[in-house]
């Protein structure tokens, strides 16, 4: 099934959903390179929508090519939120995200428009889908630096520590998911409560229509490879060089994102151009695999134990 066919199906599903739920929210999710942004833009022909990005990297200003942001002409036509809101040397937590989005959605609904959440960062989607109660704990950069340094000295040590303090959360995370492990440890050290104890799932605050877009793994990987080549063609290396010249340190969380850290290795002569290109592709394939796994859980929940006021739809692209 092609995007054009899915547009018509999604249009009908949204119309039925909105008739029953005038204050409902549409969520389009799945792995990277499945056509989520394209579908949301095509649907704007039929609905007065405002898009809320659920991409953890598109929040950063100036990081455009490597995060595959929608072009400026689209941003000018369709209101987008959660894009270009912080500088690369600033942090933006899931708690901040939830606070902001829970103000944005009522504003969109008050304008009689359709809130449409689009993206593949499952934690961002979960702030609405699972409506977590979250601790109001701002980032402690000194503590984070200490934890990252500890991990650099002894790989996987942080995961072992988290396993002792919060085994339920540790079981969800790969030992290499350092950023998420650091945040879980930060929550504990600043509140003396575990993330498991503080992140409590609740019913969604608004009715949700969850639309999932699926592609076969091989097809997704081909599209990822083509996208990576296109990003490099459109000056991804030059974008990273400019960011470094603006004194955005390569160790920043934002600069460790996929595409940016590989380009930095190339700039520093630690790999060839071909190796850089291949490394970006491989890392993005790994991300897509994680996203597919996470979103399959949503499908299973939708069949086995659907959440209150949530409608699940999955469409497979050919």
Span 149-178, pLDDT tens digits: 999 999 999 999 999 999 999 998 888 888
Contact assessment for residue 92 and residue 59, using Cβ atoms and an 8 Å cutoff: yes
Which residues are CB-neighbours of 265 under 8 A, at least 6 positions away?
271, 276, 279
Same domain for 244 and 268, yes or no, is yes
Question: 93 and 141 in contact (C-beta within 8 Å)?
Answer: no
Let me know whether 43 and 112 are in one domain.
yes
CA dihedral of residues 60, 39, 115, 77 (deg, nearest 10): 70
| 176 and 34 inside one domain | no
Counting Cβ atoms within 10 Å, is residue 273 exposed (0-12), middle (13-18) or buried (19+)?
A: exposed
pLDDT the model gives residue 216: 86
Examine residue 184 and state whether it is found in any structural domain, yes or no: yes
The pLDDT assigned to 214 comes to: 85
Q: 276 and 157 in one domain?
A: no
Q: What is the residue-averaged pLDDT of the chain?
A: 91
Residue range 170-198: average pLDDT?
89
- Would you say residue 307 lies in a domain? yes
- CATH number of residue 249's parent domain: 1.10.287.890
The band of 26, judged by pLDDT with boundaries at 50, 70 and 90, is very high
Residues 64 and 115 in one domain: yes
Is 114 within 8 Å of 108 (Cβ atoms)? yes
Kindly state whether residue 291 falls inside one of the protein's structural domains: no
Regarding whether 311 and 271 lie in a shared domain, the answer is no
Please give the tally of structural domains in the chain. Answer: 3
**106 and 232 assigned to the same domain:** no
Starting at the earlier edge strand, list the strands of the sheet with 80-81.
80-81, 49-53, 114-119, 25-29, 208-214, 310-316
Residues 6 or more apart whose CB falls under 8 angstroms from that of 200 comprise 132, 133
Top-ranked range on mean pLDDT: pick from 137-151, 234-248, 290-304: 234-248
SS3 114: strand
The Cα–Cα gap between 14 and 19 comes to 8
In CATH, what number is assigned to the domain containing residue 88? 3.40.50.300
Q: Is residue 290 part of a domain?
A: no
Based on the fold, state whether residues 167 and 145 are members of the same structural domain. Answer: yes
**165 found inside a domain:** yes
Is 80 exceeded by the pLDDT of residue 301?
A: no
Residue 24 lies in a domain: yes
E-assigned strand segments in 83-222:
114-119, 208-214
User: Is residue 318's pLDDT more than 70?
Assistant: no
Residue 121 lies in a domain: yes
Mean pLDDT of 206-215: 91
Question: In the predicted model, is pLDDT for residue 232 greater than 70?
Answer: yes
Whether residues 53 and 191 share a domain: the answer is: no
Question: What is the 8-class DSSP label of residue 60?
Answer: B
- Give the N- to C-terminal CA distance of the chain in Å, as an integer: 5
Task: Reply yes or no on whether the pLDDT at 148 is more than 80.
Answer: yes
Phi, psi of 151 (to 5 degrees): -65, -40
Same domain, 128 and 54: yes
User: Do 107 and 247 have their domain in common?
Assistant: no
Selected residue with higher pLDDT from 108 and 93: 108
Indicate whether 27 belongs to any domain: yes
What pLDDT does residue 1 have?
Answer: 59
CB neighbours of 184 closer than 8 A, spacing ≥ 6? 162, 166, 169, 170, 173, 194, 195
On whether both 65 and 207 belong to a single domain, the answer is: yes
Q: For residue 267, what are the domain limits?
A: 219-285
């Amino acid at each position: 099934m092609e995007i054009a066919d899915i547009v018509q199906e999604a249009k009908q599903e949204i119309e039925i959903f909105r008739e029953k739920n005038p204050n409902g929210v549409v969520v389009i999710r799945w792995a990277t390179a499945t056509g989520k942004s394209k579908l949301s833009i095509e649907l704007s022909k039929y609905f007065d929508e405002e898009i809320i990005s659920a991409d953890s990297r598109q929040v950063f200003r100036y990081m455009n090519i490597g995060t595959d942001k929608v072009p400026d002409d689209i941003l000018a036509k369709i209101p987008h939120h959660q894009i270009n809101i912080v500088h690369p040397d600033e942090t933006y937590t899931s708690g901040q995200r939830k606070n902001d989005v829970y103000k944005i959605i009522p504003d969109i609904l008050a304008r009689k428009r359709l809130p449409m959440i689009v993206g593949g960062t499952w934690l961002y989607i979960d702030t609405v889908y699972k409506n977590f109660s979250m601790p109001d704990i701002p980032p402690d950069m000194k503590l984070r630096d200490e934890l990252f340094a500890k991990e650099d000295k002894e790989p996987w040590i942080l995961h072992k520590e988290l396993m002792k303090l919060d085994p339920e959360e540790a079981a969800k995370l790969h030992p290499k998911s350092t950023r998420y492990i650091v945040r879980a440890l930060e929550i504990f050290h600043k509140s003396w409560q575990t993330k498991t104890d503080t992140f409590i799932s609740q019913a969604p605050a608004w009715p949700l229509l969850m639309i999932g877009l699926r592609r076969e793994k091989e097809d997704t990987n081909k599209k990822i490879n083509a996208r990576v080549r296109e990003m490099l063609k459109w000056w991804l290396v030059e974008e990273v060089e400019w960011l470094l010249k603006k004194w955005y340190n390569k160790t920043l969380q934002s600069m460790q994102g996929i595409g940016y850290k590989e380009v930095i290795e190339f700039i520093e002569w630690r790999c060839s151009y071909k190796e850089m290109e291949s490394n970006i592709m491989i890392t993005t394939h790994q991300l897509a695999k994680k996203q597919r796994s996470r979103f399959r859980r949503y499908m299973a929940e939708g069949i086995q134990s659907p959440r209150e006021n949530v409608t699940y739809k999955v469409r497979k692209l050919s």
